[in-house]
Amino acid sequence: MTHTVRMAGTTTSPGAGGAPARVLRLRGATLGAGVPAVCVPLVATTPDRAAADARALPPGVADVVEVRLDHVAGSAGDPALATATLEAVRAVLPADVPVLATFRSAREGGAQPADDAAYAAVVLAATRAAGAVDAVDVELATPDRLRDDLLAAARAHGVPVVVSTHDFAGTPSAGALVDVLRRQRDVGADVCKVAVTPADADDVLTLLQATRTFAREADRPVVTIAMGGLGLVTRLAGEVFGSALTFGSVGSASAPGQLDAVRLREVLALVHAAL
């Protein structure tokens, strides 16, 4: 199977303040234009279970499938398990559905402990899983040298990178969030991603304000999420503010506040039609 990953031209994204936003195409998914893509995470504990979960996804429900490698038992100590899981999932997915490989660190909500070296080893193994991976997640908080090495490896293998930051303690100011997104861009993110934990509706507004501010200047897709029930609007109406992708669950969720992916797609279409 041909591994298709390419950057497309510049477009204008509705709700992003009229700013040019570069579109990232991963197989059949487009990030940065039109209806936000729906990413469905798989949180299985073994390669076989991950493949079974991928095979069971309803047709058309996932624009992107995220394989949460931190949920694969023992993967922190054996990167080959990560590679096997990605290959098993790729083998059963439709050809047009891309795979995002993510090993979430414990500091940012991951399922198993891993020191920085173990984290980097798993992400590097995913990057090298030729043909099985269409994008990888690299946390901005990864120590600079390791993060830069991972980004360089991804570039060498032609694999786009989602540079991410997750705050499970609260919601920084809008200015601080914009600074984080800019830092992600500056280190070489193909997609900039921030998730926060709101304490009240004002925190949700803070995230949306930061999203809109960054989207005005963005030259690549941005993804922002306020987790939990309070942040529901950010998962449903991100297109209005410039967010290019949202996460929905089929079965087990990977983060607080994820909605059923089928129902999520219905709402996203409704919002898009009104814009």
62 in Cβ contact with 39 (< 8 Å): yes
Catalytic (active site) residue 193: yes
- Considering the candidates 3, 71, 157, 193, report the single residue annotated as catalytic: 193
From start to end of 140-202, where are the E strands?
A: 161-166, 191-196
Structure-token match 């930061």, residue found: 210
* Separation between Cα atoms, residue 89 and residue 49, nearest integer Å: 9
How many CB atoms lie under 10 A from the CB of residue 258? Answer: 21
* Pairing verdict, β 259-260 and 245-249: parallel
- Closest listed residue to residue 99, CA positions, set 164, 27, 173: 27
Rounded to the nearest 10°, the torsion over CA 27, 68, 91, 29 is: -10
Catalytic annotation, pick one of 3, 157, 166, 272: 166
CA–CA gap between residue 180 and residue 163 (Å, rounded): 10
194 forms bridges with which residues in the sheet? 165, 224
Helix/strand number for the chain, H first, E second: 9, 12
Quick check: 82 and 122 in contact, CB under 8 A?
yes
Tell me if 188 sits within 8 A of 147, measured CB to CB. Answer: no
Q: Which helix (H) or strand (E) holds 25?
A: strand 20-26
272 is catalytic: no
Containing 84, the helix (H) or strand (E) segment is: helix 79-92
Active site residues: 166, 193
